[in-house]
């Protein structure tokens, strides 16, 4: 999941989870509140208990009224009022006023209720309404007015103390606010921790990776576990590390190849130069004292100089191919005709060496390949020269075979020479590689022939390989791309 989505979800969760927890907790705590209030007033918000208090109020008012109507010296009967007060809910207070005199007042009202704040006769008659008896002290007031026989105005006041309920509601509200804050802080901290862990941890891994690369260490791996933006970044980073490592390895390989190349070149150049130097010294010292000897010396110097020239040519060609600086001139080549021309060119020399060369092709149609005529000739000459060089039979044979596939044309050169050992086959296309036998033999050569051929065939988009068996002969095979016109169609012109 993307980081953006995760952030949105976590923000929604930060709002939703605490809200849900808060609602659930409030639901259960409100039950406790209800019971607490019930405990204080012995009333419920629904049903029976409220009716009880109203009934008790009416009974008490009736009792007091009857008593007031029948007793004139009410001051002597404080006990009666006291009993009525006790009969009422313990949060209800009674005040009785006759004309302007307070006849009785419950003890818990005495501190708060002033004579002058009581409503006037007839003002709230029968009403049940809140009344402030002092600052921040609210009570529910019920007033009952009547006249006694002597015409005095009597008012009975019942006060229901609601300030405790108010306090309970107030503390409940405070607890709820604190609870809400705690739930919000807790859920946001937990969610923020989880979110930051999922973002910061992989970032730290990346940071460690960068430090390792900075210190030149590329041998580690970053495990990508998430599939978000950081996961993508880690994958790209891992790819970058892998490529860097590969390119470093290639660079090191190039470096060691370069060293090997220089040592090979120096060795191969030194051999003919040393020989030339030796023969020249021989002439200078007068060792070649007869015309025949002189002739032999000069001839050897010429051959060695020609070898050197050929080697320098091959080295130059190989290095140009290696650096891909040799231009290729690809054209449409009729491969059968082309091979026939090559054979024609070589036939005379091969006949002299008792080597038969045969082109075996049963195909009737012409096969066109994409090739650089000059470079392809170099490949073919290298292969045939090798067959001649490493021929150990009295009657040599070279069979050239052509196979026509959909996209490629396969050409093979099979000889009956000395063959190549299984161990040597994988290396014969490496530069400067010569099997031990050929290196020690008189055949001559630098070991660049097949390396050059391989580069040339690869530039053609083809492949080259060898199949051989010691003593029985060698088969060198290469594949060339068939000619395609601009529309990708093959030219089959029979
Ligand atoms: N037809 C073959 N028969 C036997 N061995 C072969 C044949 N072709 C190649 N080889 C072996 O493969 C090696 C590499 O061949 P390659 O043509 O690259 O070098 P070379 O012939 O030794 O030297 P160069 O071609 O540079 O004069 C040879 O030294 C030889 O041992
Ligand atoms: Mg060769």
Q: Which ligand is nearest to the CA of 385?
A: 2
Whole-number Å distance between alpha carbons of 390 and 437: 10
Pocket test for ligand 1, best of 264, 272, 315, 389 (most atoms within 8 A of CB): 389
Instruction: Supply the residue whose CA is at minimum distance from atom 22 of ligand 1.
Output: 447
**Residuewise pLDDT in 10s, the chain (494 residues):** 777 888 888 888 888 888 888 888 888 877 777 776 665 555 544 444 556 667 777 888 888 888 888 876 655 577 788 887 777 766 778 888 888 888 888 877 766 566 667 788 877 776 666 665 555 566 777 888 888 888 888 888 888 776 666 677 778 888 888 888 898 899 888 888 888 888 888 888 889 889 998 998 888 887 767 778 888 888 888 899 999 999 999 899 888 878 887 888 888 888 889 999 999 999 999 988 899 999 999 999 999 999 899 889 988 998 899 888 899 999 999 999 999 999 999 999 999 999 999 998 877 788 999 999 999 999 999 999 999 999 999 999 999 999 998 899 999 999 999 999 999 999 999 988 887 665 555 666 788 999 999 999 999 999 999 999 888 999 999 999 999 876 566 665 54
- How many A from CA of 386 to the centre of ligand 1? 5
**The predicted structure's pLDDT at residue 138:** 63
Q: With beta carbons less than 8 A apart as the criterion, state whether 211 and 222 touch.
A: no
**The predicted structure's pLDDT at residue 408:** 94
> Which of ligand 1's atoms lies nearest the C-alpha of 429?
18
Q: Same fold for the domain at 74-161 and the one at 328-481?
A: no
- How many A from CA of 362 to the centre of ligand 2? 29
> Which of ligand 1's atoms lies nearest the C-alpha of 451?
18
> Which of ligand 1's atoms lies nearest the C-alpha of 450?
18
Q: Are strands 368-371 and 137-147 parallel, antiparallel or unpaired?
A: unpaired
**The predicted structure's pLDDT at residue 8:** 86
**Domain 328-481 annotated CATH 3.40.50.720:** no
Instruction: Supply the residue whose CA is at minimum distance from atom 28 of ligand 1.
Output: 434
- How many A from CA of 449 to the centre of ligand 2? 4
Q: With beta carbons less than 8 A apart as the criterion, state whether 193 and 131 touch.
A: no
Instruction: Supply the residue whose CA is at minimum distance from atom 25 of ligand 1.
Output: 449
Write the CATH number of the domain with boundaries 229-320: 1.10.287.130
Q: With beta carbons less than 8 A apart as the criterion, state whether 411 and 480 touch.
A: yes
CA proximity to 65, closest of 156, 166, 177:
156
**The predicted structure's pLDDT at residue 206:** 86
- How many A from CA of 440 to the centre of ligand 1? 12
**The predicted structure's pLDDT at residue 45:** 41
**The predicted structure's pLDDT at residue 6:** 80
CA proximity to 429, closest of 443, 449, 411:
449
Q: With beta carbons less than 8 A apart as the criterion, state whether 400 and 339 touch.
A: yes
CA proximity to 367, closest of 326, 421, 409:
409
Q: Are strands 396-404 and 355-360 parallel, antiparallel or unpaired?
A: parallel
Residues 6+ apart with CB under 8 A from 372: 328, 329, 330, 331, 456, 459, 460
What are the pocket residues of ligand 1 if the criterion is a CB atom closer than 6 Å to any ligand atom?
Answer: 382, 386-387, 389-390, 415, 417-420, 428, 433-435, 438, 445-451, 474
Whole-number Å distance between alpha carbons of 275 and 424: 29
Topology of the domain covering 74-161: Beta-Lactamase (3.30.450)
- How many A from CA of 22 to the centre of ligand 2? 89
Pocket test for ligand 1, best of 313, 436, 445 (most atoms within 8 A of CB): 445
Q: Which ligand is nearest to the CA of 474?
A: 1
- How many A from CA of 81 to the centre of ligand 1? 136
Residues 6+ apart with CB under 8 A from 413: 380, 383, 384, 387, 398, 399, 400, 475, 476, 477
Pocket test for ligand 1, best of 383, 434, 464 (most atoms within 8 A of CB): 434
Q: Which ligand is nearest to the CA of 438?
A: 1
Whole-number Å distance between alpha carbons of 42 and 99: 34
The residue extents of the domains of the chain are 3-41+169-202, 74-161, 229-320, 328-481
- Up-side HSE of residue 403: CA atoms within 13 Å toward CB? 9
pLDDT tens by residue, 90-135: 677 888 888 888 888 887 776 656 666 778 887 777 666 666 555 5
Q: With beta carbons less than 8 A apart as the criterion, state whether 95 and 109 touch.
A: yes
Whole-number Å distance between alpha carbons of 101 and 116: 10
Q: Which ligand is nearest to the CA of 431?
A: 1
pLDDT tens by residue, 333-361: 999 999 999 999 999 999 999 999 999 88
């Amino acid at each position: 999941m993307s980081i953006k989505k995760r952030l949105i979800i976590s923000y929604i969760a930060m709002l939703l989870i605490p809200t849900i927890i808060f609602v659930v907790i409030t639901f259960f705590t409100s039950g406790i509140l209800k019971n607490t209030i019930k405990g204080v007033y012995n009333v419920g918000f629904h049903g029976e208990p409220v009716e009880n208090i109203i009934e008790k109020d009416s009974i008490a008012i009736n009792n007091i009224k009857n008593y007031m109507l029948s007793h004139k010296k009410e001051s002597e009967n404080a006990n009666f009022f006291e009993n009525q007060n006790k009969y009422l809910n313990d949060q209800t207070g009674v005040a009785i006023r006759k004309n302007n005199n307070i006849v009785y007042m419950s003890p818990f009202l005495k501190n708060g209720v002033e004579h002058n704040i009581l409503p006037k006769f007839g003002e709230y008659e029968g009403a049940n309404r809140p009344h402030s008896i002092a600052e921040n002290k609210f009570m529910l007031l019920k007033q009952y007015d009547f006249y006694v026989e002597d015409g005095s105005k009597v008012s009975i006041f019942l006060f229901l103390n609601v300030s405790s309920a108010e306090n309970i509601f107030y503390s409940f509200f405070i607890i709820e606010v604190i609870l809400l804050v705690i739930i919000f802080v807790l859920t946001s901290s937990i969610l923020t921790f989880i979110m930051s862990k999922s973002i910061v941890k992989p970032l730290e891994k990346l940071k460690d990776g960068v430090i390792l690369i900075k210190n030149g260490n590329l041998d580690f791996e970053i495990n990508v576990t998430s599939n978000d933006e950081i996961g993508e970044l880690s994958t790209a980073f891992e790819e970058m590390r892998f490529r860097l490592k590969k390119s470093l390895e290639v660079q090191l390989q190039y470096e060691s190849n370069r060293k090997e190349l220089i040592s090979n070149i120096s060795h191969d150049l030194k051999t003919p130069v040393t020989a030339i130097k030796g023969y020249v010294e021989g002439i200078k010292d007068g060792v070649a004292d007869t015309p025949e000897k002189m002739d032999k010396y000069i001839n050897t110097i010429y051959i060695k100089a020609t070898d050197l020239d050929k080697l320098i040519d091959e080295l130059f060609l190989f290095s140009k191919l290696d650096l891909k600086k040799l231009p290729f001139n690809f054209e449409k080549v009729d491969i059968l005709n082309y091979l026939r021309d090559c054979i024609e060119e070589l036939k005379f020399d091969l006949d002299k060496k008792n080597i038969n060369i045969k082109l075996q092709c049963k195909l009737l149609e012409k096969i066109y390949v994409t090739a650089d005529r000059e470079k392809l000739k170099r490949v073919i000459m290298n292969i045939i020269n090798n067959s001649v060089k490493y021929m150990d039979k009295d009657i040599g044979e070279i069979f050239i075979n052509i196979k026509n596939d959909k996209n490629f044309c396969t050409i093979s050169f099979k000889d009956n020479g000395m063959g190549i050992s299984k161990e040597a086959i994988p290396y014969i296309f490496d530069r400067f590689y010569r099997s031990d036998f050929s290196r020690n033999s008189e055949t001559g050569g630098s070991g660049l022939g097949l390396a050059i051929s391989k580069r040339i065939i690869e530039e053609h988009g083809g492949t080259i390989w060898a199949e051989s068996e010691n003593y029985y002969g060698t088969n060198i095979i290469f594949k060339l791309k068939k000619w395609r016109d601009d529309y990708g169609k093959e030219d089959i012109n029979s």
